[in-house]
Amino acid sequence: RKDGVDVTRLTLLYRKPGYDLGDVIRWRDNFWRPASWTKDGAIVERVDRQERTGASWRDLESAQVVSQMAEHLVVDLINQDASVGEFLDPNTWVMASVKLPWDHNGRQSIRIARIEGEWIALHHMAIDENDSIE
């Protein structure tokens, strides 16, 4: 009670997840990328195939971050065929191969992430255009 007026306070506490949009997370033994937030959780997209699903915050408690957006690289492909692209590994300057993402349309550059010692190509997401890591 303050100056004869009832005062009601509401304190809202929430815990931000340990991952952000565009990061690569391991969830249900697969790699996923959170695409957008919802009030009940997140919409996640699978890395290795075209699959999109909603997951609640409780479902995503077991998710582990394996690569953050800041760690992703955009590389130019030197050679490519229908399923594999070759690029210069920026760490060793040796040619490396990577399986092309499921949505690859022949473009010359792709986004990759080093996960558990190997390069994985990531499918294109809207947040990739807003990111200025290059």
CATH number of 87's domain: 2.40.50
Q: Is residue 109 part of a domain?
A: yes
Task: For residues 95 and 83, state if they share a domain.
Answer: yes
Give CA–CA dist 76/94, Å, rounded: 14
According to the model, what pLDDT value does residue 83 have? Answer: 93
Domain that holds residue 40: 24-67
According to the model, what pLDDT value does residue 98 have? Answer: 97
Q: Is residue 14 part of a domain?
A: no
Q: For residue range 105-115, list pLDDT tens digits in order.
A: 988 999 999 99
Task: For residues 117 and 105, state if they share a domain.
Answer: yes
Total number of domains in the chain: 2
Task: For residues 117 and 86, state if they share a domain.
Answer: yes
Q: Is residue 2 part of a domain?
A: no
Task: For residues 60 and 79, state if they share a domain.
Answer: no
Q: For residue range 51-86, list pLDDT tens digits in order.
A: 999 999 889 989 999 999 999 999 999 999 999 999
Q: Is residue 107 part of a domain?
A: yes
Q: What is the pTM of this model?
A: 0.82
Nearest to 86 by CA among 74, 99, 70, 73: 99
The mean of the pLDDT values for the chain is 90
According to the model, what pLDDT value does residue 133 have? Answer: 46
- Residue 33 or residue 107, greater confidence: 33
Task: For residues 96 and 120, state if they share a domain.
Answer: yes
Q: For residue range 85-104, list pLDDT tens digits in order.
A: 999 999 999 999 999 999 99
Is 104:111 a contact under the CB 8 Å cutoff? Answer: no
Is 68:23 a contact under the CB 8 Å cutoff? Answer: yes
Q: Is residue 78 part of a domain?
A: yes
According to the model, what pLDDT value does residue 2 have? Answer: 58
Domain finish residue from 16, 48, 67: 67
According to the model, what pLDDT value does residue 6 have? Answer: 76
